[in-house]
Amino acid sequence: MTPALNVQAALSGKRILITGSTGFLAKVVLEKLIRSVPDIGRIVLLIRGGRNGADARTRFERDVATSSVFDRLRAERPAFLAEFFAEKIECITGEVTEPGFGMPIPEFNALARRVDLTINAAASVNFREALDEALAINATSVQNITELARAGHAPLIQVSTCYVNGYNRGQMVEHNVPPARAAIPRHADGHYDLYGLLQHLQHRIAMLRAEVREPEELARRLTELGIAEANYHGWNDTYTFTKWMGEQLAMAAMRGRSLTIVRPSIIESTLAEPVPGWIEGVKVADAIILAYARDKTNFFPAKPNEVVDIVPADLVANSIVLASAEALQALPALRIYQACTGATNPITVGRVIDLIKGESQRNWRQYERLFYNEPKHDFRVVSRPLFLLMLRAMRIGAASWSGVRKLLGAGESPKLEALRTTQLLALTFSFYTAPRYIFQSDRLQALAQRFSSEDQARYNVDAGAINWSEYLCRIHMIGLNRYALRPRAPKSAEGKAAAADVPETQTEKSAAPIKI
């Protein structure tokens, strides 16, 4: 029999490098490692310098160490946490998009020699990122990460997304994903050869830069180019397209070495740890909830009977920890795991909306940062053709009323802003609420079974543990209200809310910025 894997035995004394530690998911991973593996040797955080000249340690102290994700440890073991931060957190100033992270070669090689495992959680999760930025952060930066892993002979955990499956349909298993549309040559070793594709994309980017000089117009054109290229090759947006490329580049560089790809689906607030409902920023589903709460939308294109794949952040962090332990204890290999819920504990789009809407209408006073007034309006999902028809009709009506208001000196109709919000939400997120496939997680569940019962309980990856009504109606709504949104500011003498009334919808690059 294969001996049981053990997280403590695998990670104790090890030095683990994590990228993306200022982001949501990496914070959950970091907190879990500190709390559950106190004997870990060292955690090295690669953090880019701030625009104001702040180095990695300064940014860690300001943006990571102060996070509410550590509130449990601060309450239960304050001295331990302070000592861990001081003695076991090493901060390296570097940029993942630059060769050698922008470090002198001797320093880069020295770093590689003292890292036992790398977790690459750095990403731009802006679905409509300009193509050059998305390529640099999500794709070509992986070559710099793999260079470090190869130089130090260390396993690499590459955090990707289930949505690299793009426009494919059906049962999505934990394998490499073929493009759904345009043909891309496949290497004999299994990965797709991106040399020609990258050359093509860089050429298109260079042509645009030569043609367009105005920065805002260039950014808009680069975003449009990214969406067009993604759609042509078989993906919905620039994010999923470039994350797929990142997987291929990782596979090419790590051939014969230890590479584990962990693909989460739509990550939302924690189920249980470090506390139920912890979240940072407004994620995919939350932008729609927030627009509903602010009376900025009441209809959305979706397929109510289709499964939408939402996974709590702590289940994803646990998947990364188990994958890390396996990578350090097993023989080198390519492994792909999907942290998702659709196959084992599915919930439909319509059920999510009914639960959230019902909780909002019953208990809106409990969510004082989310709801300013009682939500009396309806919210429903419609087919895409009907959505476009309704949008066109309501735009005509709102524009006419806005014209009347302007003649009367009252300004633009608020309905026009609501329609723009609805349109932008649909443009950005409708792909994720009209799913065409079910994500499978058989390999991840099999991995968990190779650990002891204690580790399985401590690092739970079982989607069956989620009670959707409890999670969405209580845990997630409370967490969204408490952690993601700022307190309301008092109104001014004129009765207008101060700027702090407006919630932050993008504290990290988690989605296209939407003004709510």
User: Would you list the DSSP string of 133-197?
Assistant: HHIIIIIIHHHHHHHHHHHTT--EEEE--GGGGTT--EEE-SSPPPPSSS---B-TTSSB--HHH
Mean pLDDT, rounded, for 466-474: 96
Count Cβ atoms within 10 A of the Cβ of residue 37 and give its class: 0-12 exposed, 13-18 middle, 19 or more buried.
buried
pLDDT digits (tens, 9 = 90+) for 391-422: 666 565 555 555 555 555 555 555 666 667 77
Comparison of pLDDT for 302 and 184, the residue scoring more: 184
Give the pLDDT confidence score for residue 506 in this predicted structure.
Answer: 38
One-letter identity of residue 171: Q
pLDDT digits (tens, 9 = 90+) for 321-366: 999 999 999 999 999 999 999 999 999 988 998 999 999 999 999 9
Give the pLDDT confidence score for residue 417 in this predicted structure.
Answer: 64
Q: Find, among 319, 449, 462, the residue nearest to 29 by Cα.
A: 319
User: Would you list the DSSP string of 406-442?
Assistant: HHTT--S-HHHHHHHHHHHHHHHHHHHHS--EEE--H
Partners of 93 in the beta sheet? 47
pLDDT digits (tens, 9 = 90+) for 60-106: 999 999 999 999 999 999 999 999 999 999 999 999 999 999 999 99
| Other residues' Cβ atoms within 10 Å of the Cβ of residue 279 | 25
User: Would you list the DSSP string of 88-136?
Assistant: TEEEEE--TTSGGGG--HHHHHHHHHT-SEEEE------TT--HHHHII
Q: Does domain 10-257 have CATH number 3.60.15.30?
A: no
Task: Report the greatest alpha carbon distance in the chain.
Answer: 81
Q: Find, among 273, 225, 300, the residue nearest to 479 by Cα.
A: 273
Q: What is the pTM of this model?
A: 0.91
Angle, alpha carbons 203-212-208 (nearest 5°): 15
Tokens of residue 17, six digits: 């490098």
Name the least confident of 235-244, 287-296, 456-465, 488-497: 488-497
Give the pLDDT confidence score for residue 428 in this predicted structure.
Answer: 73
448 with 326: CB under 8 angstroms?
Answer: no
Residue 434 has pLDDT above 80, yes or no: no
Estimate the share of the chain in helix, then strand, then coil, as percent rounded to the nearest 5.
50, 10, 35
Mean pLDDT, rounded, for 9-18: 98
Give the pLDDT confidence score for residue 158 in this predicted structure.
Answer: 98
Please name the residue ranges forming H helices in 330-466. 349-363, 384-407, 414-433, 442-449, 453-458
Helix (H) or strand (E) holding 47: strand 42-47
500 sits in the region (left: phi over 0; alpha: psi -120 to 50; else beta) called alpha
Q: Find, among 10, 91, 7, 94, the residue nearest to 44 by Cα.
A: 91
Mean pLDDT, rounded, for 422-436: 75
Residue 301 has pLDDT above 60, yes or no: yes
pLDDT band at 513 (very low <50, low <70, confident <90, very high): very low
Q: What percent of the chain lies above the pLDDT cut of 70?
A: 86
Tokens 């499978």 label which residue?
A: 440
pLDDT band at 292 (very low <50, low <70, confident <90, very high): confident
Comparison of pLDDT for 432 and 386, the residue scoring more: 432
pLDDT band at 516 (very low <50, low <70, confident <90, very high): very low
Give the pLDDT confidence score for residue 65 in this predicted structure.
Answer: 98
